[in-house]
Amino acid sequence: MNAKYLRMFAAVMVLLSGVASAASVLDNSLSLANVSVSPNPVIAGGNVTIRFQLYDSYGSFLNTVNLQASGSYPIINFSPARTTDIANVNPGVNPQQYTYTFAVPATTPSGTYRIYFNATYYGLGATEVLASSSMPVTFYVQNKPSIKVMLVNPSPPALYSGYNQTVRIEIENVGYGTARNISVSVGANRGVSILSSVTTFFISNLTQGQAVNESLLVGAQNTGSASIFASSVYYSSNLNQRFSSIQDLNLSIAPAAQFSVSSGSMPEAGPGSTDVPVEFTITNTGTSEAQQVQLNLQSSYPITPVASTAYIADLPAGASTNVTFLVSVDSQGVPGNYPVTLYEQWKQPNGALNQQFSGSDNYFITVGSQSGTPALIAAAIVVVVIAGIAAFRLRGRMAAKKQKK
């Protein structure tokens, strides 16, 4: 009994070995011939059509051929979606042409994709065995880039009327293809000034999701809403397609206090004079109330402040007030014009809790002869703004007045 079973087992193994050997010979005997892919390149958002014929390299008929396609993500929808059944495939190239159309989603990133045509079939020989072939078709999908320009990280966080703000514009490729030779020009709409000397930016290449930042200094005089605009021109990765767009970048302009400082009266003073009062008229020419205003007078030799600080509780928009400082003139001082600087620091109702605004105005005090010929004259104003959480630059102001000798 045992010998009989052993002979039967050996016969089965030989048979299975022969079937496996035949299947291995038949595998991949079917391939694609005269393959065409259109359009070329394939454009995202459209279709790709693949045409081909079947080639039988086995040298004998293949029958009961089952052909179906599978796509790599995201190319998964195709027509015909059903399985194609072919009764017989002759040896060599068969005349029948097969056509498949695949939808390429608009969000498909640029790149190389592959479609597989998988076939199972039977081959005729000593025994009929089932075999298979997997036949790939590769093509390139080109997607269009899309340039988006945004405002990010302004400093200070708010743009105050009458002042300046540094804004960063972010130029990002939010499309699905590479953008090349990107040119972005920034201009100002009504009510806004662009103070930067460079307003056009060139980027040679931006891949999908890549971004660059550029800085702009802007100013505004009015309150409310205003905007700048960005005009972009760029090309596809192969430079065959040109794209353009214009985007408005909105700015929110907050009310702000602004000071106009003019010189007031000053009695005669010469070398050796002490406790000489120097008076200034402070006018809030802005659009917001100034609160907790602190004024400090600084000078250079031979003038020395005696009482150098003045304080204003609040100064509404359009209001004026006078402040007085005391100065002394060194006895060894030489008659002439000497600079003094008036520093202003204040808060606003629309500012952050720890936010302070500050600026400065420059003047000259004229020291007369020993007999005393005093004068206070105004010079060009240099304004610098410093805040607790941001830096501001105030626009310059001019103040001029001479006192009677």
Q: Is 2 a domain residue?
A: no
Q: Is 24 domain-assigned?
A: no
**pLDDT of 369:** 74
Tell whether 213 and 230 lie within a shared domain: yes
Query: Which of 254, 276, 307 corresponds to the end of one domain?
Result: 254
Instruction: Kindly state whether residue 9 falls inside one of the protein's structural domains.
Output: no
On the question of pLDDT at 66 being above 90, the answer is yes
Report percent pLDDT > 90 for the chain: 40
Is residue 240 domain-shared with residue 159, that is, in the same domain? yes
387 & 263 share domain: yes
- Residue 403 is given by DSSP the state -
Which of 225, 254, 283 terminates a domain? The answer is 254
Same domain? For 54 and 162 the reply is: no
* CA atoms of 31 and 16, how far apart (whole Å): 26
Q: What percent of the chain has pLDDT over 70?
A: 82
- Name residues whose C-beta falls within 8 Å of residue 357's C-beta, 6 or more positions apart in sequence: 160, 256, 257, 290, 345, 346, 347, 348, 351, 385, 387, 392
- Whether 246 and 267 map to the same domain: the answer is no
Out of 254, 281, 298, pick the residue that ends a domain.
254
| CB-based contacts of 73, cutoff 8 Å, min separation 6 | none
Per-residue pLDDT tens over the stretch 334-354 = 888 888 899 999 999 887 777
Q: Determine the structural domain holding residue 83 and report its residue range.
A: 32-142
- pLDDT range class, residue 387, cuts 50, 70, 90: very low
Q: Is 24 helix (H, G, I), strand (E, B) or coil?
A: helix
Q: Determine which helix (DSSP H) or strand (DSSP E) holds 9, and give its type and residue range.
A: helix 2-26
What mean pLDDT is predicted for residues 290-306?
Answer: 92
| DSSP assigned state of 163 | B
Please state, in angstroms and rounded to a whole number, the distance separating the CA atoms of residues 41 and 141.
6
Measure Cα distances from 69 to 89, 114, 134, 137 in Å: 18, 11, 10, 10
Q: Which has the higher per-residue pLDDT, 220 or 378? A: 220
Return the minimum-mean-pLDDT range out of 7-11, 24-28, 185-189, 252-256: 7-11
Provide CB contacts within 8 A for 5, sequence distance 6+: none
154 in the same domain as 137: no
CA distances from 397 to 176, 233, 296 (A): 50, 39, 18
pLDDT band at 15 (very low <50, low <70, confident <90, very high): very low
Asked if residues 74 and 128 have their Cβ atoms less than 8 Å apart, the reply is no
Q: What is the pLDDT of residue 60?
A: 86
- Band (pLDDT 50/70/90 cuts) for residue 136 is very high
Q: Across 3-7, 83-87, 107-111, 136-140, which has the greatest mean pLDDT?
A: 136-140
Structural domain tally of the chain?
3
Of the ranges 69-78, 248-257, 332-341, which one carries the lowest mean pLDDT score?
A: 69-78
Whether 170 has a pLDDT exceeding 90, the answer reads yes
CATH number at 341 reads: 2.60.40.10
Indicate if the pLDDT at residue 397 is higher than 80.
Answer: no
